[in-house]
Amino acid sequence: MIIKIRSRRDLNEASRKDLLRKSRSQSKDRFNKRLNYQVSNFRGVDLSELFEHDYFVFKTPIKDYVCVIAYPGVLTELRNVVKETHGDIHKVNLQMVIKALRRSFDKTDDIRVDCTCPDFYYRFSYVATVNGYKYGVQQSIPADKTNPNDDLGATCKHLDLLLSNKRWLTKAASVVNALIKTYPDKAALYLYDEDEIVKDDDEEIEDDSEEVDDVEVVNDNQVDDNSEDNLEPQDEVTQDTSEDEETL
């Protein structure tokens, strides 16, 4: 699938599958190089975006660069997961959070990405801006020399890694789970009915860069190895597995 360049007045976001299909079909060699990299830091969850806008923003270093994956609806999907399992919304556990992260990752057509590597900056940041999937500062300079025909894929190999393999979400879910338990009142808007919410209008959400580092990640619920997603946590994400990357 080729994502065609559109007018800036007609931006259209992309799904995870859209970006993967484009990268696989147009730049197979670059796409395969994603297997040379790994995710080792899973704590870069933006606290403010999560609780103020139900927007999951995950920043992680890969090699010498910083990658960003962002998408909406995690807490909304978490509420759905709890209802499906007839669980207690006040007793959210790690397995529920993992399912919510993975499902919303696959459902959304509003994936946003960014990477500080030169490959993304010079070849893909303008295309990502025009096509509505660039996270953060938008790129106004066309890639006339480095990617003039938008036929080199959708993203760099670092982002290909994050988009193609969902195992890193299991570790990131531990952080989200810890944040929900540490700040349950901030998740109340999305998880509870209005008559259950007790909200302090004067309360402010502090900057996430320090808050996340202070949250202890504890796996307070065992993840069922036989669950629908085979969600056993991994220490590092190095390559794709059959259950985590569908055939596109």
Question: pLDDT tens string for the chain (248 positions)?
Answer: 334 433 333 345 799 999 999 999 999 999 999 999 999 899 999 999 999 999 999 999 999 999 999 999 999 999 999 888 877 777 889 999 999 999 999 999 999 999 999 999 999 999 999 999 999 999 999 999 999 999 999 999 999 999 999 999 999 999 999 999 999 888 888 887 655 444 444 444 444 433 444 444 434 443 443 333 333 333 444 444 434 554 45
Dihedral (Cα; 79, 85, 89, 90), 10-degree rounding: -140
Q: How far apart are CA 2 and CA 11, in angstroms?
A: 15
For residues 8 and 146, what is the distance between their CA atoms, to the nearest angstrom? 20
Pair 156, 89: CB distance under 8 Å? no
Distance CA 132, CA 119 (A): 18
Question: Which token pair is 189?
Answer: 């808007």
Contact 102, 196 (CB under 8 A): no
**Rounded to whole angstroms, how far apart are CA atoms 91 and 181?**
9
CA 25 distance to own-chain centroid = 22
